[in-house]
Amino acid sequence: MVPPFLQKKTDACRRRAPLPAAVALTLTLPLTILRGADTGAVVDPAAAPRWVAHDRLWIGRPAAANGTGVIEIDATTGDRRPIGDDAAAPAEPAAAQDAAPSTRTTVGAVPAAVAALAGPHLWSPDGGHLVAWEVTPAQKHPVPLRESAPRDQIEPRLQTHDYLKPGDVIEQRWPRLFTRDGTEIPLDRNLFANPWAIDTPRWSADGRTFFFRYNQRGHQVLRLVAIDVTTGAARIVVEDTSPTFVDYAHKAWMHWLSEDELLWMSERDGWNHIYRVDVASGTVARPVTAGRWMVRGVDRVDDASRTIVVRAMGLDPAEDPYHVHFLRVPIDGGEPVRLTRGDGTHELLWSPDRTWYVDTWSRVDLPPVRVLRRAADGETVCELGRADAGPLVTQGWTWPERFSTTGRDGATEVYGVIWRPRGTAADPTPRPVVECIYAGPHDFHVPKAFAVRHGQRAIADAGFVVVQVDGFGTNWRGKAFHDVAWKNLRDSGLPDHVAWIRAAAATRPWMDLERVGIYGGSAGGQSAMRALIDHPDFYHVAVADCGCHDNRMDKIWWNELWMGWPVDEAYARSSNVVDAASLRGKLMLIVGELDKNVDPASTLQVSAALIRAGKDHELVLIPGAGHGAAETPYGSRKRLEFLGRHLRDGR
């Protein structure tokens, strides 16, 4: 199957608008000024950190490149010295490389019975056995796209691309085991009967066992299977099962420590953690990480020291649970080492030998701070630079506001951000509220790091208060929080969003809840229209761009993961097409005729359903545009005009 990262959904809220002219950030200590065509001046005391030796770090840019000079930092002491503009940067030192595992795909001639099957043909280390693959092909599902006005001809051009949708016949692959002379050893497929995917094949060093990971279609079973090559018997080494979904696209990770043990990522206790598994017995030897927080990812496994470096979310109860921190964790037990400190979301730049690292952290309401730290204990060597956005504020730039309150259950905090128009920080005038929504369950979507120009500001600066919220059903808050999305994409966290906006407005009289709009693209387009179906007493205006308005019309991997397989009545319950007659409020639909991410027919079908129901709406079909048509200059203008006409200029 096509992997998720090749089929990304569009999050219109995360797009960064161009920087305004004459923007300046004044920072402490040696400054570096970054200039662009229309960006004015943005300065940073530790911009572009780069390691020039295992123990030397350069920060800043030369004055000739609109900087104020380069500074060299001695990582052992934190001492600084200026580097002249004419100094050439040393070649970046090579980072230490982990040894790549060897893969033996050929030993000799492949027997004819095996050659007829699909590859790769995987030989055992001793050359006594090999595995080939039986493949049943996927069906064809052609989706026609009509390019109405191609630039190189007068007549329209028909494009067709293959695009599997929920319930379609997928390609499936099963291993088949042979001896060196081509004799087949039958395998019992009960443990891997219906694969969405079979991947990460591996032979044991002695050639007696063949391993692979099995992801069952419907995504409720993910298991590591071991095949005994003598008997063909299959057994489970480790598995995860769920009555809802196993999030294989974001939380499936494993690492072999040796022939006898491996690390396995799992949400089996309700939180995403790493477990050490005994391969022979198929038992979890111990949890490597544990607690009411989430492992976002494993950045490194050090087999020699038997430690892992993980990105952690929700580690500090007093912080926003979406902030990313880093830990080094002993595999065999012991206290983890905190590699980051500071109330913000962090990213690391390691020295080539991983003895030191630059810890950069920020929040939407805190410009970046960069600290040089020692890897052994995570302690600070020196602070490299701290930003000061004061000059931006004096020019009218308004700080984003973080806000949290309890969601629909009255107990669980939900988090979001508020943007006000430029120059209105002290202005109490009530303004219409517009929500930027993207509630796809694959991630969280509210920005956490500092940026001068988040995409939401383009809407805010037109006279709106813009908000964004991560409600129930989005990722990285624990399994129960996430499971709200299962067979329930119509929900979109909207009950939590409504509660959050009401609570924010209770202490912000400049938020006018008599005028509330919402906009979003892709999954956000589905959610924006759904707001006018399920919550029309709160939301009054919506702009839905390239929406997957019926999940049966959208790409297979994303929808079967959250909505399940086989396709059942849950798909109809989340369909905007089915529920179009219940819409109340002002709706604009935007779509590009050449959208290859979400079938543009989905938008046209929901428009047809609205017409049949006598529901007035505006349809903007943009010739030549692809996915995210509302982010084109024309689409953006139409969206802003529609919001302004119905919210700002009077309803």
User: Per-residue pLDDT tens for 587-615?
Assistant: 999 999 999 999 999 999 999 999 999 99
Asked if pLDDT for residue 102 goes beyond 60, the answer is: no
The tally of CA atoms less than 13 A away on the side-chain side of residue 498 is: 17
CA distance 573 to 489: 9
The per-residue b/e assignment along 392-409, b for 16 or more CB within 10 angstroms, e otherwise, is: beeeebbebbbbebebbe
Q: Tell me which H or E stretch contains 642.
A: helix 633-643
Main-chain phi, psi angles of 330, to 5 degrees: -70, 135
Residues 459 and 317 in one domain: no
Ordered strands of the 294-302 beta sheet: 294-302, 307-313, 324-330, 337-338
Residues 322 and 410 in one domain: no
Domain that holds residue 224: 112-327
Residues 203 and 311 in one domain: yes
Residue 253 placed within a domain? yes
Q: pLDDT-based confidence at 27, cuts 50/70/90?
A: very low
Question: Across-strand partners of 14?
Answer: none
Q: What is the number of structural domains in the chain?
A: 2
Q: Measured in whole angstroms, how far is the alpha carbon of residue 598 from the centre of its chain? A: 18
pLDDT in tens, 225-260: 999 999 999 999 999 999 999 999 999 999 999 999
* Cβ contacts of 242 within 8 Å, gap of 6 or more: 220, 267, 479
Residue 55 placed within a domain? no
Q: Model pTM?
A: 0.91
Residue 332 placed within a domain? no
CATH code at 511?
A: 3.40.50.1820
Average pLDDT over residues 475-488: 98
What are the CA-CA distances from residue 115 to residues 223, 230, 420 (Å)? 28, 21, 65
The tally of CA atoms less than 13 A away on the side-chain side of residue 358 is: 23
* Cβ contacts of 306 within 8 Å, gap of 6 or more: 257, 330, 331, 332
Asked if pLDDT for residue 135 goes beyond 70, the answer is: yes
Q: Can you give the pLDDT at residue 651?
A: 52
Mean residue pLDDT of the chain comes to 90
Amino acid type, 249: A
Angle between helix axes 494-506 and 523-534 (nearest 10 degrees) is 70
Question: How do 586-592 and 618-622 pair as beta strands?
Answer: parallel
Q: How many CB atoms lie within 10 A of CB 230?
A: 10
Residues 496 and 637 in one domain: yes
Answer left, alpha or beta for residue 541, where phi above 0 means left and psi between -120 and 50 means alpha.
beta
Residue 351 placed within a domain? no
Instruction: Out of 305, 327, 349, pick the residue that ends a domain.
Output: 327
Residues 322 and 406 in one domain: no
Tokens in use for 295?
Answer: 């492992």
Q: pLDDT-based confidence at 354, cuts 50/70/90?
A: very high
Q: How many CB atoms lie within 10 A of CB 410?
A: 7
CA distance 27 to 370: 12
Q: pLDDT-based confidence at 3, cuts 50/70/90?
A: very low
Q: What is the largest CA-CA distance in the chain?
A: 83
Residue that is written with structure tokens 């005391």 in the block: 45
Q: Can you give the pLDDT at residue 184?
A: 97
Q: Can you give the pLDDT at residue 390?
A: 83
Q: Which of 95-99, 143-147, 350-354 has the lowest mean pLDDT?
A: 95-99
Question: How do 26-27 and 380-388 pair as beta strands?
Answer: antiparallel
CA distance 363 to 324: 11
Q: Can you give the pLDDT at residue 389?
A: 87
Which of helix, strand or coil describes residue 330?
strand
Question: Across-strand partners of 224?
Answer: 213, 238
Tokens in use for 131?
Answer: 């595995």
Tokens in use for 211?
Answer: 């391993």
Q: pLDDT-based confidence at 470, cuts 50/70/90?
A: very high
Residue 569 placed within a domain? yes
* DSSP string covering 123-179: E-TTSSEEEEEEEEPPPP-EEEEEESS-TT-SS-EEEEEE---TTPPPPEEEEEEEE
Q: pLDDT-based confidence at 95, cuts 50/70/90?
A: low
Instruction: Out of 327, 342, 369, pick the residue that ends a domain.
Output: 327
Main-chain phi, psi angles of 580, to 5 degrees: -55, -35
Residues 308 and 446 in one domain: no
Tokens in use for 238?
Answer: 């480790």
Residue that is written with structure tokens 């500074």 in the block: 71
Q: Can you give the pLDDT at residue 43?
A: 60
Which of helix, strand or coil describes residue 280?
coil
Q: How many CB atoms lie within 10 A of CB 162?
A: 10
The per-residue b/e assignment along 91-120, b for 16 or more CB within 10 angstroms, e otherwise, is: eeeeeeeeeeeeeeeebeebbeebeebeee
Residue 97 placed within a domain? no
CA distance 58 to 90: 10
Residue 363 placed within a domain? no
Q: How far apart are the first and last CA of the chain?
A: 47
Average pLDDT over residues 171-199: 97
Asked if pLDDT for residue 16 goes beyond 80, the answer is: no
Q: pLDDT-based confidence at 113, cuts 50/70/90?
A: confident
Main-chain phi, psi angles of 345, to 5 degrees: -100, 140
Tokens in use for 422?
Answer: 């430029």
Q: Can you give the pLDDT at residue 13?
A: 61
Q: Can you give the pLDDT at residue 64?
A: 58
Residues 524 and 621 in one domain: yes
Residues 425 and 507 in one domain: yes
Residues 452 and 596 in one domain: yes
Asked if pLDDT for residue 9 goes beyond 50, the answer is: no
Q: In this prediction, what percent of the chain has a pLDDT beyond 90?
A: 82
Tokens in use for 500?
Answer: 């959050």
What are the CA-CA distances from residue 419 to residues 139, 244, 281, 444, 455 (Å)? 47, 35, 54, 18, 10
Residues 488 and 564 in one domain: yes
CA distance 587 to 618: 6
Q: pLDDT-based confidence at 395, cuts 50/70/90?
A: confident
Which of helix, strand or coil describes residue 563?
helix
Average pLDDT over residues 368-382: 96
Q: pLDDT-based confidence at 4, cuts 50/70/90?
A: very low
Residue 56 placed within a domain? no
Residue that is written with structure tokens 């509330």 in the block: 516
Q: Can you give the pLDDT at residue 60?
A: 80
Q: pLDDT-based confidence at 86, cuts 50/70/90?
A: low
Q: How many CB atoms lie within 10 A of CB 169?
A: 12
Residues 13 and 120 in one domain: no
Instruction: Out of 327, 350, 377, pick the residue that ends a domain.
Output: 327
Q: In this prediction, what percent of the chain has a pLDDT beyond 70?
A: 88
Which of helix, strand or coil describes residue 606?
helix
CA distance 504 to 609: 35
Asked if pLDDT for residue 22 goes beyond 50, the answer is: no
Residue that is written with structure tokens 């329209």 in the block: 156
* DSSP string covering 45-71: TT-S-EEEETTEEEES--GGGTSS-EE
Q: pLDDT-based confidence at 24, cuts 50/70/90?
A: very low
Tokens in use for 319?
Answer: 């912080």
Q: Can you give the pLDDT at residue 34?
A: 29
Q: Can you give the pLDDT at residue 606?
A: 98
Q: How many CB atoms lie within 10 A of CB 448?
A: 18
Residue of 89 and 502 predicted with greater confidence: 502
CA distance 234 to 217: 19
> Would you say the C-alpha torsion 160, 166, 167, 173 has a positive or negative sign?
positive
Residues 318 and 410 in one domain: no
Cβ atoms 86, 167 nearer than 8 A: no
Main-chain phi, psi angles of 582, to 5 degrees: -85, 0
pLDDT in tens, 428-442: 999 999 999 999 999
Tokens in use for 2?
Answer: 């096509």
pLDDT in tens, 299-335: 999 999 999 999 999 999 999 999 999 999 999 999 9
CATH code at 262?
A: 2.140.10.30
